[in-house]
Amino acid sequence: MIYLLIPIIGFYLTSSACYGVFLFIQKERCEQVGFALMIAGFAIHTVLVGGKALYFGIIPVQNFHETLLFSAWIFAAVFLAFKILSRLKVLGVFAAPLVTILSAAAFMVPDRAVEIETSLASLWLIVHVVLIFIGMAALSLAAGTGVLYLIQKRNIKSKKHRFFFKRLPSLEMLDSTGYTFVVIGFTALTTGLITGFVYAHTVWGRFWSWDPKEVWSAITWLIYAALLHERLMSRWRGNRAAILAIIGFAAMLFTFLGVNFLLEGHHDEFTRW
């Protein structure tokens, strides 16, 4: 099964390359090819993830390998869905390598059976994991647009129209796209956390257990909540929103990986190998 990952990574990698070329030469064709390769990779990826899920009859996050594989699949799905809905082509430059890295990381980590106590067949848990991953994907794209926003803003403010000026869309578009991602990501994250609480209640009889993962999730959630609050109060647009989206992403990354490696808690079995 693991060898299926090689063509997947191959497709994602060439897709990333196409997006890279697209960034330089700005030919629509490159972007279209990149998108097509991404879809091809995603199709095989779906077979792999779906096969695992059917084989084990549970959501495939039994070890770190599966967690990475699954998150890469969700990321790819979110990006493709977004790509169909939006005109922001340049985001592939950011998204395709991210999916590639996640898949490659999954390939590096051995797919070894790990003893876990958590029941992965619970519907609450499935919804929890899927929603959290969708939220994470959307919020990483938000951070990506935030970075693009900051680059473009710098271009315009400094009055030196370097490499990226022509290649990046308008500030307003980056800002509103980033905002859309944050709204989608935050909604998914919030719902994902709630289902997590419900699941925790069914298993341990309590919603909250001061687990480090829970604490860091709360911190991440608060950062995005603050961003949205300020946004709705219409004070934080553009620059600050972009910076906060990037900070939120960093916190989220730590919650996802850092907590599991540095701290302990009931989530660490997903990152064992």
Partner 1 sequence: MNLPDGKENFGNEMPMAQKTEALPEIFLIGLNHVSAPVELRECLAFSTEQSETALGELKKSTAIKEILIISTCNRVEFLFTSLFPEEAVQTVIQRLSDTKAIPSHRFEPAMYIHSGNAAVRHVFRVAASLDSMIVGEPQILGQIKEAYRLAVNNKATGVVLNRMLHKAFSTAKRVRSETGIGDRAISISYAAVELAKKIFGSLDEKTVLLVGAGEMAELAVEHLHRNRASGNLYVANRTFEVGVDLARRFSGEAIRFEEIGASLTRADIIISSTGSPEYVISQGLVRPIMRKRRNRPLFFIDIAVPRDIDPDINRLENAYVYDIDDLQGVIEENISSRQNESVKAERIIDEGIIRFRRWYDSLDVVPTIKQIRGKLTTIAEAELAKTLPSMGQLSDEDVEALKKMVESIVNKSLHDPILFLKNPGAHRDKSLYIDVFRKIFNLEDD
Phi/psi for 109 (5° steps) reads: -85, 125
- Report in angstroms how near the CB of residue 176 gets to partner 1 at its nearest: 8
Q: Which of 118, 187, 191, 239 binds partner 1 (CB under 8 A)?
A: 239
Residue pair 41/139 in contact by the 8 Å Cβ criterion: no
- Report in angstroms how near the CB of residue 105 gets to partner 1 at its nearest: 36
CA dist 263 → 10, 115, 202, 215, 259 (Å): 34, 19, 24, 11, 5
Q: Does 157 bind partner 1 (CB under 8 A)?
A: yes
Q: Which secondary-structure segment (H or E) carries 43?
A: helix 28-56
Query: Site size for partner 1, by CB under 8 A?
Result: 19
- Report in angstroms how near the CB of residue 181 gets to partner 1 at its nearest: 17
- Report in angstroms how near the CB of residue 80 gets to partner 1 at its nearest: 24
Q: Which of 165, 204, 207, 208 binds partner 1 (CB under 8 A)?
A: 165
Q: Does 149 bind partner 1 (CB under 8 A)?
A: no
- Report in angstroms how near the CB of residue 258 gets to partner 1 at its nearest: 31
Q: Which is nearer to partner 1, 166 or 205 (CB)?
A: 166
Q: Does 171 bind partner 1 (CB under 8 A)?
A: yes
CA–CA distance, 260 with 266 (Å, rounded to integer): 9
The residue length of the chain stands at 273
Q: Which is nearer to partner 1, 140 or 180 (CB)?
A: 180
CA 108, 112, 115 angle in degrees (round to 5)? 135
CA–CA distance, 221 with 216 (Å, rounded to integer): 8
Q: Does 163 bind partner 1 (CB under 8 A)?
A: no
CA–CA distance, 254 with 109 (Å, rounded to integer): 19
Q: Which is nearer to partner 1, 154 or 272 (CB)?
A: 154
